[in-house]
Each structure stands twice: as C-alpha cells, then as structure tokens.
Structure 1
Amino acid sequence: MITHKEQIINYFKSGIRETKDFKIGIEHEKFLFDQNKDKRVDYSIILKMFKGLYEFGWKPILENKNVIGLKKSGKSITLEPGNQIELSGDQLNNIHEACSEAQNYLFEIKQVIKRLDLKIVSAGFDPISKISEVPNNPKQRYEVMTKDMPNGGELSLDMMYRTCGTQLNVDYSSEKDFVKKFKVANSIVPISIALFANSSIVEKKNSGYLSYRSKVWQNTSRGGLPEAFFENMNFEKYADFAINFPILFIQKDKEYISGKKYLFSDFMNGKIKELENKLPTENDLTTHLSTIFTENRLKKYIELRSMDACGWECLCSGPAFNTGILYGNLDEAYDLISKWDKNKIINAYLEAPKKGFNTELMGKDLFYWTSILLEISKKGLESRDIIGKGGYNETHYLGHLEKIIDNKTTNADHMISEFSKNENLNDLYDK
C-alpha cells in the first residue's frame, strides 16, 4: 500500500536505467471517419475494425465483456473517448525501429479500413465534426471524465472527444538526469507547439489558430504547464506535486467512481469513504499519475505530450527531434534553455497556439529558437550514429522539419492554404 511519500519517490527511482538501455516509446492518435458520410465512426464500426485486425495477430482487451482495445507483443491499440484510436508502441531502441513499427501499423490499418470504407484524419483537432456529432463508447472511465472534467476546464470535453496528439516516452539514468531532461522538455514546449502545429481547421473553418489542439489543452482540467516544473523538479518535488493533485477517478471492484475533489493525499491517509477508507496500491498510483494531463509528466519515464498528431510522412520527425535533444545532446540544450526566464517561457506557451513561429521568447521569435534546437537535435542524432537498414542514421527523420524551416511553413500553414482554396473535405483526409 502507498502510505508515505518515500514510496512514490522509490517508484520514480525504479524507472532509472543505464544509458545503454534507454528506450523510446511512441504513442500516436488518429481520427477515423466514414468517408461516405464525413462522420466520425461509432463503436459498432470500431468493433468491425478491431475484428479485421485480429488476422494480424491482435488480441482483444476486454472491460465488462466490451472490447475496448487490442494488444500484440509489447504494443496496444487503445480507444479514446470519441473513438479515436491510439497506438501505444513497444519499447524500442531507436527511431528506425519506431518508424518501422508505425509503418507496419499503417499497413495493417489500411487493409482493414479500406474494406470498411473508412478514412483517417491525421490532425491535432477534428477539422470537421461539432462536439455534438462525436460518438462515444462504453469504456467506463470516460463516463466519469465526461461528467467531471468540464468543472475544471471549459474545453475539457473538446480535449477528450476532438483532439489527437503524438507522445514520446523517454528514460532517465539518474535523478539528476531526470531533472535536466524534465526542465528542457518543459522549456521547449512553446517550440513544440509551433513546430508541430497541425490543427488549424475546426468545424470546416479556419480557426484562427495554428494549433487549436494546444489552445484546447491549455483550457483543459488538470492540464497546462505548471510554474513549479521549471524549479529543478526532482523526484521528491514531483511526488509532492502528485500527492497534492486532485484524484480524477478511482477504480472500485472493476467500476470507476468519481474522485470528488479528493487529493491523492486523502487516499494515502485512508480518508475516502466511498472506498471504505482503503489505502492506494501501486496500481492506483499509476492510474493517478496517468490522469495528470500536464504538457509533460513523470511516471517511471518522462512523457512528452505537446505535439499535434500529424500524417504518416512526418510521424517520426517529432520523436527524432526530441530524441536528438534529450538522448544525444542534452547538455547543449540545457545550457541554452538555462538562460531563459520561466515567465517568458510560460507567456510564449500561451501565445504559441495562435502565433506559432511569430511568438516571441527572450527577444527572439520561436522560428529562431526552433532553428537552433533543430541543429542541436541533428548533432545529437549524429553523435548517436545509429544506422538503420536503409543505410542512414536517425538524422534522416528530421527531413520533414528541415523543410518546415526552409519554407517557414508548418503543417498547419499548409492545411490552411490547401483547404482555403476550395474547402474540399477530401483535402483533410490522409492520402
């Protein structure tokens, strides 16, 4: 049972790995549409799609006899609140393996959705549907979340039902290594928002934002970029943060009940009457850490969560960018961001969804800082010098980002340009 802060600190310490054993984990979400109706797919169609994936070795994940996901080897496909599908990838050694995993997944998905007349939209925000048009599914926790989340953030339901992102999970070799990586990861959130912006179209119109997804997450309960994350956040400080963070839901006898504004400290002190004052297990702690929706967060690894979903051609670029910085060239990146003022970072974070590269940080625009960080990443990937089957190293996957810098045109800018020409919904779907 988890009753003392030291147990949570030890939980984080148990994630420490030797540098040679560092892994990369990528999670990416996609919207599924019925291409004949331009409507998001309902749960009955999801079940047909899942059934089609069984032939590729995927096995069902059940909750109260309902299929709520699939698993295969170290991977899983999970079902998000509005029937977005998310691949939670295996723990992999490098970007080559991660990109190969994504391509295999794409091949399997394409075989199935073609038979069902479905199409994929790879964007950070649903560009077509109103929230009233988005279907749900029987995954139990979402019922509690749908009721409680709007109380702490006005766009929380948009987050749940109309956003998709790409997430990278990275390891740390010590508490000191975690502190540096976490500070860098949080400091470059405005750059991630600007560089990976891909959610400009909302309800078939130009939203006025480059990353409307990021705007939504800034107005989501339990989200944001806490000021405390810039204060050399170590394991003890993060444990304090988690202990004093409200509980979203609690699992009781395979049912989910509302956290009712309890803090995790109340759980640790046996003060939750709905649980007959029982104490939390490590599984309860893991669940709690997973419902802290900040831009980056800590479990037994660091999760980077500020990238809009993007098409298959650029899926590997975000993970490559961050891997080059955090695994290949951390010290240079840390030296750079150490000169930045936290209040100016937070201000840039708030402005980046709308202004993108034109956002100012420390007297320069984000385009300037992105160019520098891209070079830092490239040097980091070159120093890793991991050669894939194609005969090239991981810098190959930065090509998409180098085009963005060369043309000063993000995925969001491209979509605004393409969609504005004729407002053809087909332009929003993956080709």
Structure 2
Amino acid sequence: MITSKEHVIDYFKSGIKDPKNFKIGIEHEKFLFNVSDNTRVDYSKIKQMFSALAEFGWKPVYENENIIALNNGGKNITLEPGNQIELSGDILNHIHEACAESQDYLFELRQVTKKLGIKIVSAGFDPISKIQEIPNNPKQRYKLMTEDMPLGGEHSLDMMYRTCGTQLNVDYNSEEDFIKKFKVVNSIVPISIALFANSSIVEKKKSGYLSYRSKVWQSTSRGGLPAIFFDNFDFDKYAEFAINFNILFIDHEGKYISGKKYTFKDFMDGKIDEIGNRLPTEKDLTTHLSTIFTENRLKKYIELRSMDACGWDCLCSGPAFNVGMIYGNIDETYDLIKNWDKDKIINAYLEVPKKGFNTQLMGKDLLHWSKTLLELSNKGLENRDFLNKHGKNETIFLNHLNKIVENKMTNADHMINKFSKDENLETLYDQ
C-alpha cells in the first residue's frame, strides 16, 4: 500500500537504472477520418479496424464487453477519447529500433485503413472537425473525464478529443541524474514546441497559431509548465507535488469514481468514503501520476510530452533530438540551460504557440536555440554510436530537423502553405 510520501519517493527510486540499461519508449497518436465525407471515424469503424489488425498478430484488450485496445508483445494500440489511436511502443535500445517499429506499424495501418476507407492525419490538432462533430467511445474513464475536466480548464475537451502528440520516455541513473534531466527537459519545452509545431489549421481555417495544440494544452485542466519544476526538483519535491495534486479518477472494483473532491493525500489517509476508505495500491499511484498532464512528468521514468504529432517522415526526429541530448550529451546540455531564468522560460512557453521561432528566450530567438540544441544532440548521438545495418548512426534521424532550421520552415508553415493554395482538405491527409 502507498500510505506515505516516503512510499512515493521509493516508487521513483525503483525506476533508477544503470546507464547501460537505459531504454527508449515512444508513444504517438494519429487522427482517423472517413474518406467518404471527411468525418472522424466512430467506434463501430474502430472495431472493424481492430478486427482487421488481428492478421498482423494484434490481440484485443477488453473493458467489460468492449474492445478498447490491442496488444502485440511489448506494443499496445490504445484508444483516445475521440477515437484517435495511439501506438505505445516497446521498450527499445536506440532510435534505429524505434523507427523500424514505427515503419512496421505504418505498413500494417496502411493495409487496414485502405481497405476500410480510412485516411490518417498526422497533426497536433484536428484540422477539420468541430468539437461537437467528434464521436466518442465506450471507454469508461472518458465519460467521467468529459464531465470533470472542463471544470479546471476551458480547452480540456479540445485536448481530449482534438489533439495528438508524440511522447518520449527516458530513464535516469540516480536522483541527481533525474534532477539534471528534469531541469533540461522543462527548460527546452519552448524550443521543442517551436521545432515540432504542426497544428496551424483548425476547423478548415488558419488558426493564427503554429502549434494550436500547445495553446490548448496550456488551457487544459491539470496541464501546463509549473514554475516549481525549475527549482532543483528532486524525488521528495515531486512526491510532495503529486500527493497534493487532485485525483482525476479512482478505478475501484471495475468502476471509475470521480476524484475531483480529493487529493492523493486524502486517498493515502483513507479519507475517501465512496471506496470504503481503502488505501491506494502502487497501481493507483501509477494511474494518478499518469493523469497529471504537465508538459513533462515523472513515473518510474521521465515522460516528455511537448511535441505535436507529425508525419511519418519526421516521427523519429523528435525522439532522436531528445535522446541525443539526454542520453548522449546531458552535461553539456545542462551547462547551457542551468542559468536560464525560469520566468523567461515560462514567458517563452506562453508565447511560442503563436510566435514559433520568433519567440525570445534569454536574449535570443528560438531559432538560435534550436540550432544550438541540434548541435548538442548531434554530438550526443555521435557519442552513442549506435549503428544500423548500413553503418549509419542515429544522427540520420536529425535530417528532418536540420532542414526545418536551415529553411526556417516548420511542419506548421508547410501545412499553412499547402492548404492556403486552394483550401483542399486532401492536403491535410497523410500521403
């Protein structure tokens, strides 16, 4: 049972790994649309799609009688509130493996979506649909979240139903290593948003933002970039933060119960009458930590969550960019950001969804910092020296980002340019 802050700290300590055992976990989401009328797919179409994926070895995962996910070894395909699909990849050693996994997944998806009249959109925000047009699904927790989340943030339903992102999970080898990595990943959030901006079209119009997804996440319940994350945030401070954070829901005897009246500390103190005052298990703690929607968060690893979803050509670039710095070159990256002013970082964070590379941070624009971080990442990937069968190291996955920086043109800019020519919806779909 989890009954004290020390138990939460021990949970974080149990994630400590020897650097030779560091792994990479990647999660990425996609929108699915019906070819016939440009509407988002409903749950009945999802069931057909999940059934068709069975031929590739995917096994169904049920909640009561409803299929809500697929599993294939260490990989899972899960269902988001508006029937976005997410691949939670296997735990892998390097970006070559991760990119191969994504390409295999793309191949399988293409076989199935073509057969079922479905098209994929790889963007950070749904460029077509209004919120009221998006179908839901019977996953129990989403019904409760749809009711409770808007109470704490005006764009919470947009986050749930109309956003897609790419997430990277990385390890730490000590509490000191966690503190250093957590400061780095929080400090570079504005740069990450600028580099991976890919949500400029909303409801078939230019939104005025390069990353509308990031704008939405800033106005989402339980989200944001807390100022306290910059204050040498150790396991004790994160545990304190987490246990005093409101619970989103509690999974109790197969039912989801709203936690909006309670903090996790109330749970630990046995003060929740609706569940018979039972105490939380480690599973309850994991669930709670997974429903804190900050830009980065801690479980038994660090989750980086600031990247818009992007097309298959750039899918591996985000993980490569971050792995190069965090695993290959953490000391030099930390030295760069260690004296940055947290208020200036947060100000850049608030401005970057609209201003992109033109956002100022510590007297330079984010294009400058993107170039600098790319150099540090490139050096880190060279240091790692993981080679593919052609003898190429992981730096090949930075090519997409090098082009963005050289041309000063993000995925969002390309989307605006293509769509603005004739406002043809076809330009929004993956080709």
So what's the TM-score if we normalise by structure 1?
1.00
Q: What secondary structure does 1:430 align onto? A: coil
Partner residue, 1:193: 193
Cross-structure match for 2:361: 361
Post-superposition offset of 1:52: 0.4
Partner of 1:80: 80
Q: What residue number does 2:225 align with?
A: 225
For residue 53 of structure 1, what is the aligned residue in structure 2? 53
Residues 32-431 of structure 1: pairs in structure 2 closer than 5 A: 32-431=32-431
Paired position in structure 1 for 2:4: 4
Partner of 2:29: 29
Q: Distance in 2 between matches of 1:224 and 1:260?
A: 18
Q: Give a deviation string over 1:180-204, Cα, whole Å, max 9, x none.
A: 0000000000000000000000000
Question: Alignment partner of 1:40: what SS?
Answer: coil
Taking the aligned partners of 1:260 and 1:335, their CA distance within structure 2 comes to 40
3-state DSSP of counterpart to 1:277? coil
Structure 1 residues not aligned, in runs of 5+: none
Contact 1:30 1:164 in 2 (8 A): yes
Q: Supply the distance in 2 between the matched residues of 1:389 and 1:38 (Cα, whole angstroms).
A: 41
Q: What do residues 317-361 of structure 1 show as CA deviations (whole Å, max 9, x unaligned)? A: 000000000000001110010121000000000000000000000
- Listed one character per residue, the Cα deviations across residues 79-118 of structure 1 (whole Å, up to 9, x for unaligned) are 0000000000000000000000000000001110010011
Structure 2 Cα separation of the partners of residues 418 and 127 of structure 1 = 13
Partner-residue secondary structure (3-state), 1:307: strand
* Residues in 1 aligned to 2:370 and 2:406: alpha-carbon distance in whole angstroms: 12
Deviations 1:246-269 (A, max 9, x none): 000011110101003200000000
In structure 2, distance between residues paired with 1:228 and 1:342:
9
Q: Partners of 1:390 and 1:407 in 2: how far apart?
A: 28
Letter of the aligned partner of 1:293 in structure 2? F
Using the alignment, how far apart are the partners of 2:382 and 2:324 within structure 1?
8
Question: Structure 2 CA distance, aligned partners of 1:35 and 1:389?
Answer: 38
Q: Distance in 2 between matches of 1:337 and 1:136?
A: 42
CA RMSD of aligned residues (A): 0.5
Deviations 1:6-54 (A, max 9, x none): 1110100100110000000000000000011100000000000000000
Q: Which amino acid aligns with 2:186?
A: N
How many matched pairs?
431
Question: Within 2, Cα distance between the matches of 1:323 and 1:40?
Answer: 33
Instruction: Please give the alpha-carbon distance, in whole angstroms, between the structure 1 residues aligned to 2:338 and 2:291.
Output: 29
Q: Which residue of 1 aligns with 2:14?
A: 14
Structure 2: state its 5+ residue gaps: none
Rounded to whole Å, the distance in 2 between the matches of 1:390 and 1:137 is 44
Task: Give the counterpart letter for 2:260 in structure 1.
Answer: K
TM-score, normalising length from structure 2? 1.00
Q: Contact 1:248–1:261 at 8 Å: present in 2 too?
A: no
8 Å Cα contact 1:167-1:307 kept in structure 2: yes
Deviations, residues 400-428 of structure 1 (Å, cap 9, x unaligned): 00000110000000000110000000000
Counterpart residue type for residue 269 of structure 1 = D
User: Could you report, residue by residue, the CA deviation over 1:117-158 in whole angstroms, capped at 9, with x for unpaired residues?
Assistant: 110000000000000000000000000000000000000000
CA distance in 2, matches of 1:65, 1:96: 38
Q: Following TM superposition, where does structure 1 have runs of at least 4 consecutive aligned residues deviating by more than 6 angstroms?
A: none
Distance 1:384 1:244 in 2: 39
The offset of 1:297, in angstroms, is 0.1
Deviation at 1:391, TM superposition (A): 2.1
